[in-house]
Amino acid sequence: MTEPPAIVLFDGVCNFCNHSIQFIIKRDKKSYFKFGALQSEEGKALLEQHGLSPEVLDTIVLIEHGKAYTYSTAPLRITRKLAWLWPLFYGFILIPSFIRDPIYRWISRNRYKWFGKQESCMMPTPEIRSRFL
């Protein structure tokens, strides 16, 4: 029996976030993840369904096995499913979130300044279109 795909919601106009999604897609050899923009109607509905504000754009959100993960926990859980040595990064989950999350939030606050943003959400290529909501 195959696992249902996990869903990764991301800030669709953030260049850093878009590059992160491309990074995940290249290393997700089993197509475990599906993707959607936090700003999309599907993304907003999923956020509300999991008790998160649809106005929250400062975190990547992983929805896996009916639970939503945010801030530093989401990317660490994502690394568990990636190819090569990336699952080793999941070991950082042992660091308490009250230490990890402020670092994540600092990067999130500065992501537009450091990496820029687009006018609209990323349009997936035909090859990866099926992986998006």
Give the pTM. 0.89
Burial class for 37, CB neighbours closer than 10 Å (0-12, 13-18, 19+) = buried
Q: Could you report the per-residue pLDDT of 74-121, keeping only the tens digit for each?
A: 999 999 999 999 999 999 999 999 999 999 999 999 999 999 988 766
- Quick check: 48 pLDDT over 80? yes
Output the pLDDT for position 83: 92
At 97 the pLDDT is 96
- In 10 A of CB 87, how many CB atoms? 13
> Where in the chain are the domains?
6-131
Confidence of residue 3 (pLDDT cuts 50, 70, 90): low
Q: Is the pLDDT of residue 2 over 70?
A: no
When the pLDDT of each residue in the chain is averaged and rounded to a whole number, the result is: 91
The C-alpha torsion from 93 through 96 and 101 to 103, rounded to 10°, is -90
